[in-house]
Structure 1
């Protein structure tokens, strides 16, 4: 996940999403007969609808110390998650490899720090970032956003007292997550996680 993905220290919860959040449309086909998955707009529409589903949001158990999450059935083969963020929690810097993604805030508020540059897909451990590549967004309940492949960001609940809840979706399902540390302009690859690390 999670992105917007949950770190290994979080508490996973397995549950099926209510039907309103898990409806799956039949995949469309390209002219060559290949399966075509959802694009960014479809993922964003899904996470917004799921974030507005009060019963779904109420079904997520919240933990005062660690993030919790429930895997959802995303549209047309995508991977989706409902995530609870206790006060002061965050993801750290990471990307989602070749997956497109979207997330929407159901409760509380999340801050996203992101980079406007695409990182090389491999062959490096340390990069020095140019100036003016940082972006910051504050996303209150009801807001969402989509992003493209290799999007590097961190997501934070900066509230000292309130939980936040969000819905995230990725296509194709996450093949890996690269986690980074950052000191000023220097970004370091620290860890590569595979689906078995968070599912």
Structure 2
């Protein structure tokens, strides 16, 4: 299947011609505009059992995805390494649970978190958020019966994703995924 490109993505300057990196604000603007584009959102095949996704051309050489979330699905705790990012909900409602503290990027397997670092936000259709590098979060569709769809963008393109488990206030690094694992 060819990679869908939104008219928003095609209108941006190619990565090799861009002199400055894409900002988190630009990623959020792209995610919000693309989430509002029915042609892009409707191009995503939905599966009632598992998450689905298609890759998009993001602004300035960024990596972008449209993701479908069946009821009760989520990402688990993870980060995006040195990439900054943004996501916007196109349909339904997503919950983001995040940590309001920057974690060391290397040299640890398990960390005990202070109780005040947890954050939670609900993002209904038309809302989004941007984040910096090393942002640790999990994204969930907590609806018992409504499929959600969202648009995500990362710059630079994801070099890796670190996956964590969490038991109470203890966050444990479980494994590292590389781009070849999800493309």
Correspondence for 2:133:
149
CA, structure 1 residues 119+107, in 2 after alignment: closer, same or farther (shift >3 Å)?
Answer: same
Correspondence for 1:7:
none
The two structures, once aligned, show a CA RMSD in angstroms of: 1.7
Would you say the 8 A contact 2:87–2:129 is kept in 1? yes
Correspondence for 1:62:
46
Give how far 1:34 is off. 8.4
Would you say the 8 A contact 1:27–1:36 is kept in 2? no
- Unaligned ranges ≥5, structure 2: none
CA, structure 1 residues 19+181, in 2 after alignment: closer, same or farther (shift >3 Å)?
Answer: closer
Correspondence for 1:188:
172
Give how far 1:17 is off. 2.1
Correspondence for 1:40:
24
Q: Could you say which structure has the higher helix fraction? A: 2
- Supply the distance in 2 between the matched residues of 1:34 and 1:86 (Cα, whole angstroms): 37
Give how far 1:24 is off. 4.7
- Supply the distance in 1 between the matched residues of 2:14 and 2:42 (Cα, whole angstroms): 30
Scaled by the length of structure 2, the TM-score of the pair is 0.95
Query: How many residues are paired up?
Result: 183
- Supply the distance in 2 between the matched residues of 1:151 and 1:183 (Cα, whole angstroms): 19
- Supply the distance in 2 between the matched residues of 1:34 and 1:64 (Cα, whole angstroms): 40
Tell me, yes or no, if structure 1 residue 107 matches structure 2 residue 91. Answer: yes
- Supply the distance in 2 between the matched residues of 1:101 and 1:15 (Cα, whole angstroms): 24
- Unaligned ranges ≥5, structure 1: 1-13
Give how far 1:90 is off. 0.1
1:19-62 C-alpha deviation (Å, 9 max, x unpaired): 41422522699xxx983221011000000010000111111100
Q: Secondary structure at the match of 1:188?
A: strand
Scaled by the length of structure 1, the TM-score of the pair is 0.88
CA, structure 1 residues 64+121, in 2 after alignment: closer, same or farther (shift >3 Å)?
Answer: same
Give how far 1:78 is off. 0.2
Tell me, yes or no, if structure 1 residue 118 matches structure 2 residue 102. Answer: yes
